[in-house]
Amino acid sequence: MNKSVAKVFNSAAKKYDIQRSELIPLMNIFYGVAVELVKINNEKGKVLDLGAGTGLLTELVIKKYPNAKYTLVDIAEEMLDIAKERFELLDNVSFNVEDYRDGISGGKYEAIISSMSIHHLDFNEKRNLYKNIFNILEEGGVFVNADQVKGEDCESEEIVKEYQLSHIENCSLSREEKDKTYERIKLDKMDKMTDQIDMLKEAGFKSVDIYYKYYNYVVFRARK
């Protein structure tokens, strides 16, 4: 993540939620599986959302654990501004504008969640992030990530790219919005799911698995 990522997503902030529902296939299932996988033992425990954007994933998790304390982190301030409006009536949600590659503050968390964010990090940045996530999770805590990954080989990657192009072109976004979507895609640094599973195990997680996969959209969970 860097200033260019922040700039692109700040410019897309106002239309982001509407566009996401158009661009992510089977979005309700994708997010629904992620929410199902979030488990905290303490009803008032701490939950961290990395790359929280406008707060879409946190909003769903709050319905499950309304008394938990939530921290939303994102590099794009204008995205978090929308999240602040979304949660303006709640006193258990806080916001940090920061690049989580540089470290994660706030002590220990019972759950760490993320959606459509970590694929903007390169291979080594992902590896370092997963180690940091492991270190700040409570024992038994879970990390749930709903994200995009690279195909496992050249053939599968080509199939994914063909599907993505078809899906974007057939959605109801305007031509201008589609072109901006392609510009955002240029910022992606996706890695194979198998490589990321290895990273998570290397970081020390006891249980790591994929619970949802549709083309290159995956939801995985890792427990400390």
Which token pair is 80?
A: 């978090």
Q: Which two tokens stand for residue 107?
A: 């002590």
CA-closest candidate to residue 82, choices 24, 7, 15:
15
pLDDT for the residue 6: 59
Pick from 9, 19, 36: nearest CA to 219: 36
Tell me how far apart the alpha carbons of residues 11 and 203 are, in angstroms, rounded to a whole number: 35
Decide: 219 and 146 in contact? Cβ < 8 Å: yes
Q: What angle do CA 199, 191, 177 make, to 5 degrees?
A: 140
pLDDT digits (tens, 9 = 90+) for 63-104: 999 999 999 999 999 999 999 999 999 999 999 999 999 988
The answer to whether 51 touches 100, Cβ cutoff 8 Å, is: yes
Given a cut of 60, is residue 8 above it in pLDDT?
Answer: no
What amino acid is encoded at 29 in this protein?
I
Average pLDDT over residues 172-184: 91
Tell me the pLDDT band of 12, cut-offs 50, 70 and 90: low
Task: For residue range 13-68, list pLDDT tens digits in order.
Answer: 566 777 888 999 999 999 999 999 999 988 889 999 999 999 999 999 999 999 99
Mean pLDDT, all residues of the chain: 93
With b for 16 or more beta-carbon neighbours within 10 A and e for fewer, the 173-208 pattern comes to beeebbebbeebeeeeebbbbeebbebbeebebeeb
Confidence of residue 1 (pLDDT cuts 50, 70, 90): low
Q: Which residues have C-beta within 8 Å of that of residue 28, sequence separation ≥ 6? A: none
Measured between alpha carbons, how far is 160 from 156 in angstroms, rounded to an integer? 6
**Taking the CB of residue 57, how many other CB atoms lie within 10 A of it?**
25
Q: Residue 141's pLDDT band (boundaries 50, 70, 90)?
A: very high
Annotated domain spans of the chain: 3-223
Q: Which amino acid is at 85?
A: E
Return the CATH number of 3-223, one of 3.40.50.150, 2.30.40.10, 2.60.40.2470, 3.40.50.300: 3.40.50.150
pLDDT at 105: 82
